[in-house]
Amino acid sequence: MVRNVSVVVGNGGMGRAISRRIGSGRTLLIADRDPDSLEPVAERMREDGFDVTSTGVDVTSPESIAALAETARGLGQVTQLVHTAGVSPAQGGIEQILAVDILGPALVLDEFVEVVAPGAAAVVISSNAGHMVSEPLTPEDQLLLRTTPAQDLLGMSLISPDRFTDRAVAYMFAKRVARLRVQGAAKAWARRGSRVNSISPGVVATPMGRAERSSGNTFVERLIALSPAGRAATAEEIADAVVFLLGPAAAFITGADLLVDGGAIAAIDSGQLPTHS
């Protein structure tokens, strides 16, 4: 019997929660840049009854992503893909943020569209930071960012590290581009009978979220305290949103972005919250 395969790229707090949420009754392929830390997670999941394969991946390497896609195809019928890998301002410099958060999802979407089964669905985890970009992008710039071949993205003047004053600004821009890449990929995925969407979480109670909160960035704390929800999300709440977008209830949703941020962007856009300075 051909097995349905779910692929989760990134083994942070959200990646682990999503893996457990979607992995029952199917083959699960989890991938991360640090295979040594990944295998103990996979082993615990096997003990809990999951059918798990783990592998290392470099999301900035076309060859590594191609190898991951081939591994997934070899396991069965790829019906679900979730890309969670990312670098936040507290975790890396500008060049790393641009490479991992822009090139990573672009490569994954371009490669996996060739191996997914008809009816498959994909979700890219972006961030509500991508909704905070203050510098407007022209329609022409947006089109270029949606459609430029993935391997050429980092050579674009729009993505030059010199354009960004700090890591937070680079991160906001990168997450905006991730959403644009999802929009640009929707037609190609549709030709495979499949869908692709993104989710833009706010601050989540994961190691990445805790790193941002402890980095001295007071904006993050204000964003949480003054947002309508008044708290950070749990990784499980993001996983619930992923399940919705992967499932049949979202069959008419593709090329879209779902904000799961406790109303933070709504409050900013309504003038009820300060924007990032």
Known catalytic membership, residue 171: yes
Does residue 84 contact residue 8 with C-beta atoms inside 8 Å? yes
Q: Please give the DSSP secondary-structure letter assigned to residue 102.
A: I
d(CA 151, CA 5): 27
Alpha helices in the chain (DSSP H): 13-22, 35-47, 62-75, 94-98, 104-112, 139-147, 167-191, 207-213, 218-226, 235-246, 264-269
Q: Which residues contact 124 (CB under 8 A, 6 or more apart)?
A: 82, 83, 105, 108, 109, 178, 181, 182, 196, 197, 198, 199
* Cα 40 off chain centre by: 23
At residue 86, φ and ψ (nearest 5 deg) are -170, 165
Does residue 77 contact residue 3 with C-beta atoms inside 8 Å? yes
d(CA 243, CA 132): 26
Half-sphere exposure of 237 (CA within 13 A, CB side): 17
Q: Which of 131, 146, 167, 175 is catalytic?
A: 175
Q: Which of 50, 112, 171, 189 is catalytic?
A: 171
> What is the rounded (10 degree) CA torsion for 275, 177, 68, 70?
150
Q: Apex CA 68: angle with CA 191 and CA 30, to 5°?
A: 105
Does residue 50 contact residue 24 with C-beta atoms inside 8 Å? yes
Q: Which residues are catalytic?
A: 171, 175
